[in-house]
Amino acid sequence: MAEHLSQSELDYPFKLLEYFNGFRVSKVIFSACELGVFDLLLRRPRKPISGSAVWAQDLSCKRGGRDGETEWTPGWGIEILGVETKDGTDYSFCFHFGSSSSDVANLLPSPKAAGSPLHDMIIYQSQTIYPLWNNMADAVRGRIKIEKTFGLPSEDIFKALYRSRGEMLKFMGLMNSSWVLDGHDIVTAFNLSGFQKIVDLGGCTGALAREMAKAWPSSSVTVLDLPQVVEAAQKHFPQEDDAVEFQSGDFFSDEIPPADLYILARIIHDWPEEKCVTLLKKIHDSCRPGGGVLLVEALLFENRRGPVTAQIFSLNMLVQTEGRERPPSEYTRILEKTGFHNVQVCRTGKCYDTILATR
Ligand SMILES: C[S@@+](CC[C@H](N)C(=O)[O-])C[C@H]1O[C@@H](n2cnc3c(N)ncnc32)[C@H](O)[C@@H]1O
């Protein structure tokens, strides 16, 4: 039975206060990840983690982070992280971030445990995106953001994002991690079995391309990206018996290789419309007859009042790029303007959606 709330409880601005605290909750998760708390939980799944001594020993922190206090004890840190404890001793990995605890356990953002895809996502959010969001008001006023946050010129967004090799690798880690969650839904949203040669333009580490090759094994899949990205993808994100090939190139200034299907995953949202039109026209010219283009983006509702994730992604584009998220009608208009037709939209119900158009 629903609990009866008094009028004064109903009037209390819980939601507002919860939003005010949102950044603090994020920082708890980010800091836990950076400190290796998830590693500790993985290593000690059946033992009590009851005192600051354990945190001090395992996380190389002072006792509890501050003399004599116990901030990083299970008391509140674990509570926010949503780890459940049975009989006060057994820390099971029931994160409340997903529906199935076992699935979520596999995604634990542990820095050391192999196959912890959310780790790279969290590190990039914490160290790069968090400071950028600090300049939200300036970004809304139309002022340059990356320039202010990191002291870099932002006329070439990827020069700024790749301002050091370390930053580039962190960005690549973030890109790599998303497709663990959404990749399969994206590549199977449409029947793509008729496309023989697929080129993933700006395909980064090849994570989505590999999902594509797995789902459609009779196709050949090539990732095209900037030379330094291709070199780093092969060195730092290699895969045995890789099903995808890599090719270096600049999709704005070099020729686009001929193919039956081009993937543009999270590419259009980086750029203003003129650049998107230039790129899509080039793709149209290189596309084989009967071929197409598959856009992968977080689609806004037509009235732009949701989904919240897509709105937040759009603000994220605002603080660091010249682009934004768009509703399906805008993609359709741009695709038709560049010669594509038969535009089909598929909302996956996850963070990213997909649009297929034919030449
Ligand atoms: C937002 S990321 C998307 C990566 C990948 N498609 C994904 O969704 O995981 C944009 C990608 O485009 C690449 N890129 C940017 N400008 C490029 C250019 N002029 N030519 C080729 N690739 C480019 C970047 O290196 C990066 O890998």
Q: Is the previous residue joined to 258 through a cis bond, with omega within 30 degrees of 0?
A: no
Is residue 231 in contact with ligand 1, taking CB distance under 6 Å?
no
pTM: 0.84
- Please indicate whether residue 295, judged by its CB atom, sits closer than 6 Å to ligand 1: no
Bridge partners (DSSP) listed for residue 247? 224
Distance 203 CA to ligand 1 centre (A): 6
Looking at residue 177, what is its pLDDT? 85
266, 279, 324: which to mutate for ligand 1, most atoms within 8 A of CB?
266
Contacts of 108 (CB under 8 A, 6+ apart): 38, 41, 42, 93, 95, 116, 118
CA atoms within 13 Å, Cβ hemisphere of 209: 30
Query: Within its chain, how far is the Cα of 138 from the centroid?
Result: 24
pLDDT band at 5, cuts 50/70/90? confident
* pLDDT tens digits, one per residue of 144-169: 666 666 766 656 789 888 989 999 99
Q: Is ligand 1 within 6 A of the CB of residue 265?
A: yes
SS3 100: coil
Is residue 220 over pLDDT 50? yes
Q: Percentage of residues in the chain with pLDDT exceeding 90?
A: 52
Q: What is the pLDDT of residue 143?
A: 66
* pLDDT bucket at 69, cuts 50 / 70 / 90: very low
Number of H helices, E strands in the chain: 18, 9
Give the separation between CA 286 and CA 189, rounded to whole angstroms. 24
pLDDT value at position 68? 42
Report whether residue 206 contacts ligand 1, using a CB cutoff of 6 Å. no
Residue 269 among the catalytic residues:
yes
Q: How confident is the model at residue 24 (pLDDT cuts 50, 70, 90)?
A: confident
Poorest-confidence range of 105-114, 232-241, 297-306?
105-114
User: Nearest CA to 37 among 116, 128, 102?
Assistant: 116
Both tokens of residue 122?
A: 């969290």
Q: What is the DSSP string of 346-359?
A: E--SSS-EEEEEE-
Report the pLDDT averaged over residues 304-332.
94
Domain ranges of the chain: 7-112, 182-358
In a mutational test of the pocket of ligand 1, which residue from 157, 175, 282 has the highest number of ligand atoms less than 8 Å from its CB? 175
Question: Is the C-beta atom of 208 inside 6 A of ligand 1?
Answer: yes
Beta strand spans in 113-211 (E): 197-201
**How much is the pLDDT for 94?**
38
229 lines ligand 1 (CB under 6 A): yes
Among the listed residues 119, 269, 284, 341, the single catalytic one is 269
By mean pLDDT, which of 80-94, 218-232, 283-297, 328-342 is the weakest?
A: 80-94
Substitution site in 155, 229, 231, 294 for ligand 1 pocket (most atoms within 8 Å of beta carbon): 229
C-alpha–C-alpha distance, residues 108 and 180, integer Å: 12
The CATH number assigned to the domain with range 7-112 reads: 1.10.10
- Return the H-helix or E-strand segment holding 144: none
Most confidently predicted of 80-89, 159-168, 237-246, 252-261: 252-261
| pLDDT value at 178 more than 70 | yes
Cα 13 to ligand 1 centroid, rounded to whole Å? 42
pLDDT at 89 over 60: no
> Which pLDDT value is given to residue 65?
46
Work out the mean pLDDT of the chain and round it to a whole number: 82
Report the nearest atom of ligand 1 relative to the CA of 263: 6
**CA–CA separation, 315 and 313 (whole Å):** 5
Q: Which two tokens stand for residue 138?
A: 């300036």
- Angle at which helices 328-337 and 273-286 pack, to 10 degrees? 50
CA distances from 274 to 15, 244, 354 (A): 40, 31, 21
Q: Could you tell me which CATH number the domain at 182-358 has? A: 3.40.50.150
- The alpha carbon of 134 is separated from its chain's Cα centroid by a whole number of angstroms, namely 19
Ligand 1 closest atom vs CA 252: 19
User: Positive or negative CA dihedral for 329, 333, 335, 341?
Assistant: positive
Distances, alpha carbon 107 to alpha carbons 94, 235, 245, 296, in Å: 12, 23, 27, 23
Rounded to whole angstroms, the Cα distance separating 197 from 289 reads 12
Ligand 1 atom with minimal separation from the 172 CA: 27
Instruction: Provide the β-strand partners of residue 112.
Output: none
